[in-house]
Structure 1
Amino acid sequence: MQHRFLARACGESRNLQVLEDTPAGGQMDSYHLADENVVDVLARDYRVKRDDLEKAVPEVWATLSERYAEAAEGPVIAFAADITEDSVLGKDELRVLLAHPEVGKEGVKFPVPMPRHEHLPPEIDEFIAEDAVRCQVRMGDFDVRNSPRDFAAKLGAIDVPEGRQAAHAQVLSRLSAASTYDEPNAPPPAEPKQQSARASAFMPGVTVRPTAAPAAPRGPTGHGVINPMAVDLAAEPAGAEI
């Protein structure tokens, strides 16, 4: 509800059209059909069944929202944090706006920051918070109760923004390799160290084999310097038999 008033204030200050301020939207708003007192009066004096009213109101707003989105003439500002699949924005408006030739994924902007989702790694959370991705993602897609692989399947079907293909591929790889959300939160494994060409050049007859780095000490030792690579030194076998 607070986002609704933010949207109205933004529309008034920037000369933007807000759904509730259209003639049809204003008329629907004036009925106050979400007010329990109004619902009681309609049920008592006009024999309107509550169930019928509860079904009719969302359908009317959905129709108005779809027509509203179809009439867009440029960039759209969406006042929402997380977008749910069954909301008017998620179910009706964005579906129309993403296919709109004058809007599309690049034309949908979010002034309200996306909240942090603690079960997602920060890099993945930041990726889905980008406007052109955010407008294609729904809150249920990354539900903690589901598998990260399910989320990867959803993300794999989006229209990837220009220049973000590499980041998209990395996110998909990380999610697809995990069966629970505890796994993608773990830091990625360190890349193996390459053998030093200089070491081989200055130590002829010696094989340099990188091994795992020693664990960092809990307190300062010596100069506080840890050798990042331990090596095994083994003499190479003679090249000829005697």
Structure 2
Amino acid sequence: MSTLIPENVEALALELAHREAHAAKLASGRAKAIADELEAAAGDKSISEYLLAFVNDEAGVRPPEGPAPQSAFWSFGHDHPEAPMNHKGEPFLDNRYIAEAWAHLQNEQRPGSAQTLETTAAGRRLNEMYLWEDEVLEELAQRDDEITWGFARECWAGLSETYAKAAEGQVVVFAQTGHTLSILHNTESPALQANHAVGLDNIHFAFEAPQWWPEAARDELGTNAVRAVAQFDNPSREGYIDPAVYEASAPEVREATLAKAMEHATPQQEAPAQEVPEQEAPQQEAAAQEVPAAEGPVPSAPAAEAPAPEAPAAEVPAAEGPVAEAETLEPEVPAAAPLEANTPPPPLWQAGFNPKPSRAAHGSSGPSAVNPEGPTVGAELASRAAGNGMDGPA
């Protein structure tokens, strides 16, 4: 039986969310320093050229030597009375922090087993730039007119795609669906499906399908594969399914609807062929043909190499520089605010959600959630499916 998000995950997610909200406020006062640092790092390039090269460099998303962690991606979030206020002045908990809390707790049990985009080297660096803060954008735009709010989103989308292309094995998506305005739907999911080391079968959602979907829609559209491909908010785009219409349709119509939506799955690429050095083939062939008699004492087999030491459990990072000094003060946590009667319920933890650590890279979906200006379509279902936020600026 599925349950709400575990209390230990929720509590840590709220702590991380308030810490990041506090750091973002302080970053606004450091806009000039942030711009100076980026200008110095860019050297003879423009800041925008430097950033685009940075987000496309796979080296920044690769973990250090040792066991590779499992990828975690995220999108949107949900209303929470104890969460920081979003741009609309409403308490909202991004799924970013739920993913980060889950990864942190996984790493406590098995060091180095999970991570999100924002906890990798490149993700931390991009996050510290606070490109979505108005003061930072204004300062950067004075030095490079290519840098806009849309450019900031392009940077996060680019880094997210780099992560998705580098991922391996089973990945975990902290979302209920992929909204058509999200980086998850437009960039990450197609890249994961095409990735020869991941593919559609290895995309696993951490949450169940939305609870307000009708029963048959939840059962048949709520699978990992369907939610990774289809979308449920914009009838003008490919792969759209209306859960309410789907529920009321005859079985054969539902089957055809589902098949049509799944036609938009991205084909998985073939794994690159493993090249064998030319000199190895004759040696292997000779070895197979001739086994020399042992002369003298037979040497014992070498002892198995000791496994590489595991990385220490990931600690919740403290902000650096001027922010670190301010972090000695506890960020103010607003009092719980009552949720409106028509607020969608929080997501349910996916039944059977216990992804095994595998050789995977990384993942996630950009900075704090920003709500698009109203839903894409006017239907109540689409509005509720969209939630109040998304992965990265819209």
Please indicate the TM-score interval, normalised by the length of the shorter structure. 0.5 to 0.7
Aligned residue in 2 for 1:5? 97
> Of the candidates 9, 20, 24, which is equivalent to residue 122 of structure 2?
24
Question: Within 2, Cα distance between the matches of 1:66 and 1:105?
Answer: 16
Does the alignment pair 1:115 with 2:210? yes
Equivalent residues, number: 155
Aligned residue in 2 for 1:239? none
Q: For 1:127-138, list aligned pairs within 5 A.
A: 127-138=220-231
Question: Within 2, Cα distance between the matches of 1:145 and 1:29?
Answer: 39
> Of the candidates 235, 238, 241, which is equivalent to residue 142 of structure 1?
241
Scaled by the length of structure 1, the TM-score of the pair is 0.55
Scaled by the length of structure 2, the TM-score of the pair is 0.35
SS at match of 1:55: helix
Aligned residue in 2 for 1:172? none
The Cα shift of 1:54 comes to 1.4
SS at match of 1:78: strand
Q: For 1:181-196, list aligned pairs within 5 A.
A: none
Q: For 1:29-48, list aligned pairs within 5 A.
A: 29-43=127-141, 46-47=142-143
Deviation string, structure 1 residues 94-125 (Cα, Å, up to 9, x no partner): 1011122222222111112221344xx42133
| C-alpha distance 145-74 of structure 1, shift in aligned 2 (>3 A) | closer
> Of the candidates 187, 203, 217, which is equivalent to residue 92 of structure 1?
187
Gaps of 5+ in 2: 1-92, 107-112, 235-239, 266-394
Instruction: Compare the two structures and name the one with the higher helix fraction.
Output: 1
| Counterpart contact for 1:105–1:133, Cα < 8 Å | no
Deviant stretches of 4+, over 4 Å: 143-153
Q: For 1:1-242, list aligned pairs within 5 A.
A: 2-14=94-106, 15-43=113-141, 46-47=142-143, 52-118=147-213, 121-139=214-232, 140=234, 141-143=240-242, 154-155=260-261, 157=263
% of aligned pairs identical?
Answer: 29
Question: Within 1, Cα distance between the matches of 2:100 and 2:169?
Answer: 18
Question: Within 1, Cα distance between the matches of 2:118 and 2:130?
Answer: 12
Deviation string, structure 1 residues 120-141 (Cα, Å, up to 9, x no partner): x421332111112211111231
Q: Which amino acid aligns with 1:103?
A: V
SS at match of 1:138: coil
Question: Within 1, Cα distance between the matches of 2:201 and 2:259?
Answer: 22
Q: Which amino acid aligns with 1:157?
A: E
CA RMSD of superposed structures (Å): 3.1
Question: Within 2, Cα distance between the matches of 1:153 and 1:85?
Answer: 19
Gaps of 5+ in 1: 160-242
